[in-house]
Structure 1
Amino acid sequence: MLFCTLPASAQLLETYQAFLGPSDHFNSSGARLTQPWQIIRQDRANFHKFGVRDPGDEYDSFFALEANRSLMEQMILNGSIQRSAANRIVNGNVFIRVEIYPNSVNVTVN
């Protein structure tokens, strides 16, 4: 498991849920994505930039900005995602819940 303890002052900015479907597992060039942060980032690009949305995808204002999407990898590294959740994201189509903090995100598979 990957964990990071958030300081008591860390303020939850927003949460969203999303379904990570087949289109989220490939980048814009058609290459298969192999890391959970890549797939989650592609989901947000699909949602906000390309208008490709799966049933169950929810809006978030934070990753609506491309500059914030580019921070996804570091934010996940600063936050938490269980190894089993990361494996499920990479290997299948799953629902996720994302908690967004100023410098991190916590990802769980529903």
Structure 2
Amino acid sequence: MRVLIATTAVIVTLLSSVAVNAQSITRTREPQVIDSYTAYIGRDDLYNSSGARLTKPWQIVRQDRANYHAYGIQDGDDEGDAFFADAANRQQLEEMLANGSMSRDAQSMILRGNCWVNVQVYGRGDRGSFIEVEVWR
């Protein structure tokens, strides 16, 4: 009987330890910041590679990343990022911004250029869901 009670006590202790550890493991379903960068939106970012003036803020943000990663055109203190180094991710930028946020003032400033942007990429793993863009002069 003592062996049964002792064995039961050990099993209960082990099970409660497993339960405590299982409760401390959390898997978030919410997107997290997976990348971010700060860049200057200069004159070169306002035009596509054919020389046409871009008319949408997301186009300019995308062109800035294409200039940085694909064409080697960088404004002085532009930061790199791993996410938009992939051309397929740059193609998703419009949809990611539609799912994210950018104020009307930020949109206007980007369209005029000569401003700084901070872009935060949210997602899970290496898959982006949306971006948030802040702007200042």
Structure 1 length-normalised TM: 0.91
Structure whose CA Rg is larger: 2
What percent of counterpart residues are identical? 47
Aligned length: 104
Q: Which amino acid aligns with 2:100?
A: G
Equivalent in the alignment of 1:106: 132
Q: Which has the higher contact order (CA 8 A, sep 6+)?
A: 1
Match runs of 1:42-53 below 5 Å: 42-53=63-74
Deviation, structure 1 residue 49:
0.2
Match runs of 1:14-93 below 5 Å: 14-93=35-114
Q: Which amino acid aligns with 1:54?
A: D
Q: Which has the higher helix share?
A: 2
Name the SS of the counterpart of 2:33 in structure 1.
coil
Structure 1: 4+ residue segments shifted above 6 A: none
Q: Which amino acid aligns with 1:34?
A: T
Q: Which stretches in structure 2 are left out of the alignment for 5+ residues?
A: 1-27, 124-128
Q: Which stretches in structure 1 are left out of the alignment for 5+ residues?
A: 1-6
Query: 1:86-105 deviations in whole A, cap 9, x for unaligned?
Result: 01100131100000012100
Q: Which amino acid aligns with 2:45?
A: D
Q: Which amino acid aligns with 1:50?
A: Y
State the alpha-carbon separation in 2 of the partners of residues 39 and 90 from structure 1.
Answer: 7
State the alpha-carbon separation in 2 of the partners of residues 106 and 8 from structure 1.
Answer: 19
State the alpha-carbon separation in 2 of the partners of residues 45 and 99 from structure 1.
Answer: 17
Q: RMSD value over aligned CA atoms?
A: 1.3
Structure 2 length-normalised TM: 0.73
